[in-house]
Amino acid sequence: MPTPTAGSLPAPQPTRQARRPETIELRTEEDLMTVRHAVRAAAVEVGFSIVDQTRVITAASEIARNAYIHGGHGTLLIEFPYGDDGIAGLRLTISDDGPGIADIEAALTDGYSSGIGLGHGLGGARRLMNDFELRTAPGEGTTVTITRWTRP
Alpha helices in the chain (DSSP H): 29-46, 50-71, 104-107, 121-128
CA-to-CA dists, residue 141 to 5, 75, 93, 137, angstroms: 54, 12, 13, 6
Domains of the chain: residue spans and CATH: 22-149 (3.30.565.10)
Question: Residue 48 has what pLDDT?
Answer: 96
- pLDDT tens for the chain, residues 1 to 152: 444 454 554 444 444 455 789 999 999 999 999 999 999 999 999 999 999 999 999 999 999 999 998 899 999 999 999 888 889 999 999 999 999 988 778 777 765 555 544 445 788 899 999 999 999 988 899 999 999 999 86
